[in-house]
Amino acid sequence: MFSKTCEYGIRAAIFIASESYQNKRVGLKEVAKKIDSPEAFTAKIMQILTKNKLIDSNKGVGGGFEIPLDRISKIKISQLVNALEGDRVFTGCGLGLSDCSEEHPCPIHDKFKAIRNGLSEMLETTTLEELALGLKSGDTFLRY
């Protein structure tokens, strides 16, 4: 459903948020290892999330990635997806056709629209805080 960029980006944000709850900044190597992503690819994802002000990056000794605690509860997963993929997940055709629309639907348009709307609602109503707290408590995991 999501691109690898988006999958890794969501995982990274969850991990960074869970570490931020412990007042820890995490470096690129640690993020890449924790989310099982190549380091160079993770660096590009971190640039996107930083540029979109979803995570903070601090350079130098004691630096790393973090998310201020007051911001974690306000970040919706839809914001991460939008920063990493644009609105394709929320508006795109299930078959990837560029001309699919209400007036000119693809064969799965109506059925996929319901799925896409459900996904959109879930992403809009799920906060980074919910997911990070699940990781912190041990109820969820990021790596298999």
Q: Is residue 142 part of a domain?
A: no
Structurally, the chain folds into a number of domains equal to: 1
Q: Is residue 59 part of a domain?
A: yes
Tally of CB atoms within 10 A around 2: 16
Distance between start and end Cα atoms, the chain: 19
pLDDT at position 89: 82
Question: What does the pLDDT look like over 25-64, one tens digit per residue?
Answer: 999 999 999 999 999 999 999 999 999 999 999 988 888 9
Q: Is residue 97 part of a domain?
A: yes
Residues 6+ apart with CB under 8 A from 116: 89, 90, 91, 92, 94
State how far Cα 78 lies from the chain centre: 8
CB 54 within 8 A of CB 13: yes
Q: Is residue 84 part of a domain?
A: yes
pLDDT at position 144: 47
Domain that holds residue 22: 2-135
The backbone torsions φ and ψ at residue 63, rounded to the nearest 5 degrees and listed phi first, read -80, -170
Interval 19-27 mean pLDDT: 95
pLDDT at position 143: 64
80 vs 87: which has the higher pLDDT: 80
CA–CA separation, 9 and 64 (whole Å): 16
Alpha-helical (H) ranges within the chain are 4-20, 28-35, 39-51, 69-72, 77-85, 88-91, 109-125, 128-137
What CATH number is attached to the domain comprising 15? 1.10.10.10
pLDDT at position 87: 85
Q: Is residue 91 part of a domain?
A: yes
Q: Is residue 86 part of a domain?
A: yes
Q: Is residue 76 part of a domain?
A: yes
119 — pLDDT class (breaks 50, 70, 90): very high
Interval 53-76 mean pLDDT: 94
Interval 70-83 mean pLDDT: 96
Considering the entire predicted model, what is its pTM? 0.89
90 vs 143: which has the higher pLDDT: 90
pLDDT at position 32: 96
Q: Is residue 83 part of a domain?
A: yes
